[in-house]
Amino acid sequence: MADQKISQLTNYTTPLNADLTVIVDTANTTTKKTTWQNIKATLKTYFDTLYIGSNQTITLSGDVSGSGATSITTAIGSGKVTEAMQVLADNTTQDVSTSKHGFAPKAPNDATKYLDGLGNYSVPSVAGITALTLIPLSVVGNNRDHIEISVNVNTTMFISQIIIPFKIIANKISFTTSFTTTAGTLDLTLYSEDGQTQIFSVTTGTIAISGGNVLITTALSAVVIASGIYWLAVNSNSTTDTKLLFYSVNAQLQGATGIANAVTSEPILDGTLTISAGTPPATITPTSITTVQSSALVFRLDN
């Protein structure tokens, strides 16, 4: 075989185990031969120390356990995932839904909303009976009898605690005047039981001079009023002078030991408040009411 350069030799892509190659034995400074089979065996022995074999079984232990060769089936031990390990990032990936269990969605920062059956925060509807027409009752007045009281001072608000027994969406409020000497308007205001929220406040149209009963109706803007305890107040504007129908209250209920007004540090249930001229206040303090017998206006709400 004539001498040739390595680059001149024929290409050989798939060596056989018995094929030979030249190798230098550096320990003995001698050129020797070896087979392709020996080279593969030597390389395998070396690489087995660096890599996992395809048929080698791996076993895991500790918080995560499992074993396998080509694939590993794992299981997380009971109680091994602590609260500190959970990353509660601001995302919705694992939120509860109608198709799976999950985390509660992030709170909406709205006290009127609750988590509903669809996994969303929503404002629950007010359950119960809804009325179309109501004549609310006075807490302390005799709801069968009434008296006439002049409303003619624009810094005096007549106010009384009332009961609204059913929810109503009110579009109008009505009351009766019995005698009007000076034409003008009145303010009607409904407050929450604690006095800190105005449910509505409206001004009537002009009440004309009259010598007999006149029904006065004023529009409201679809005010949703839940059943409960409220305060209803009425006051004159400017120089309006008219007599209105109020529920009659037994004097014994409002005497020195009357249950309506004599409980120390508690609200006066029927009386008056001093206000800025013709301006119903945004809030009221029920314990600041001055006792005036029979201050509960007879009125009606309609859808």
**Do 176 and 213 meet the contact criterion of CB atoms below 8 Å apart?**
yes
Phi, psi of 167, rounded to the nearest 5 degrees: -65, 145
Closest CA to 292 of 249, 257, 259: 249
User: pTM higher than 0.85 for the full model?
Assistant: no
Mean pLDDT (the chain) is: 88
Closest CA to 225 of 278, 302, 147: 302
Cβ-based neighbour number of residue 153 at 10 Å: 16
All CATH 2.60.120 domain ranges of the chain, comma separated, are 131-302
Instruction: State the pLDDT at residue 141.
Output: 73
Task: Show the tokens assigned to 267.
Answer: 């609200």
Does residue 36 sit in helix, strand or coil?
A: helix
CATH architecture of structural domain 131-302:
Sandwich (2.60)
Mean per-residue pLDDT, 93-97: 86
**Do 137 and 116 meet the contact criterion of CB atoms below 8 Å apart?**
no
Instruction: State the pLDDT at residue 37.
Output: 93
From residue 17, give the alpha-carbon distance in Å to each of 35, 40, 48, 100, 245.
6, 9, 20, 59, 118
Say how far apart CA 178 and CA 213 lie, in whole Å.
Answer: 4
| 288-297 pLDDT, tens digit each | 999 887 789 9
